[in-house]
Amino acid sequence: MKTRTFGNTDIEVTPVGLGTWAIGGWMWGGTDEAQSIDTIHAAIDQGIALVDTAPVYGFGRSEEIVGKALAGGRRDKVALATKVALNWDDDENVVRDARANRIQQEVEDSLRRLQTDTIDIYQIHWPDPATPMEETAKAMEKLLRDGKIRAIGVSNFTPEQMDEFRKFAPLHSLQPPYNLFERDIEDSILPYCRNTDLATITYGGLCRGLLSGKMSRNSRFEGDDLRNNDPKFQGDRFNQYLGAVDALDQYARDKFDKNVLALALRWLIDQPGVTTALWGARRPDQLKPISDIEGWSLSERDMEAIDDILTEFINDPVGPEFMAPPSRQD
């Protein structure tokens, strides 16, 4: 897989990166460590050169698994991205916390769990309105100066919040939600990143599995699965989105001899301003379709046809707002 330069840094990444939220198990019905390690190894073997994780993914579990998977010679094969500035209690209640002391504590915990001396891309997971942006930004800049991180990123920030952050520290990347069904960032956020030379790591590329082509109206989600709280998977909305998936799958097969999963990922990495699209996987076999997104691209006419399908089938769209954690003020 060809690499891309990560914004205005010297870090090289691939157009597809491995997302490890599900590997952490929290809100995904648990995890299998051996299988997860095999999945990370399979991603690297197939050429993926970015692995993205976060402390809150399983409350340290995902980072620990990533650290074990990269130990023994694989660490230098990937750009390693993780996050900071969420806090939790013993009951797994999560709040935003971007205070300087929290950042300093978390980076040491993450370095230990990841078994590394340096984190390539360190990202503020969610903006924290209860902490002055100056305090957060300067804490991140100190980590950059100290060599604990190589690039500063933010996630789920608006252009205004990024402007405020950049008053006090350099900024290299943004991680926003983005997929065929969740496209709010096209209005202002993607143009902002293009105009300021910020790299982007988009998450949710398959929209919690909706765009995998493997769901049906009989699909059920157990335990703490976050899709039980996602409006897209409820009632008539679910039917609308499944109808769109079927139509997109037919278009992909007729036009490219591909399936909807390949179409969804190809659509993402063909978007101007997208550096890397994360692909979440829990088993090695889920990575086999990677080869299906290489060697072809979508034309402007294809993009218009895809938009027409979405307009035809989805009359009650909804975004990823349900995933936002509360602030300490709340």
Q: Return the active site residues.
A: 57
Alpha-carbon span 173 to 232, nearest angstrom:
28
Residues counted in the chain: 330
The separation between CA 246 and the C-alpha centre of its own chain, rounded to angstroms, equals 24
- Residue with the two structure tokens 């969420």: 86
Candidates 81, 102, 85, 83; CA nearest to 94 is 85
Alpha-carbon span 7 to 257, nearest angstrom:
33
Which residues are within 8 A (CB) of 190 and not within 5 positions of it... i.e. 6 or more apart?
Answer: 178, 200, 271, 272, 273, 274
Give the start-end residues of each E strand in the chain.
4-5, 12-13, 16-19, 50-52, 79-84, 86-88, 94-96, 119-124, 149-155, 173-175, 199-202, 276-280
Contacts of 308-316 spanning 24+ positions with Cβ under 8 A: 309/244, 309/247, 309/248, 309/251, 310/180, 310/181, 310/244, 312/244, 312/247, 313/240, 313/241, 313/243, 313/244, 313/247, 314/181, 314/240, 314/241, 314/244, 315/240, 316/236, 316/237, 316/240
Residue type, 6: F
Alpha-carbon span 146 to 158, nearest angstrom:
27
Is residue 137 a contact partner of residue 168, using CB atoms and an 8 Å limit?
Answer: yes
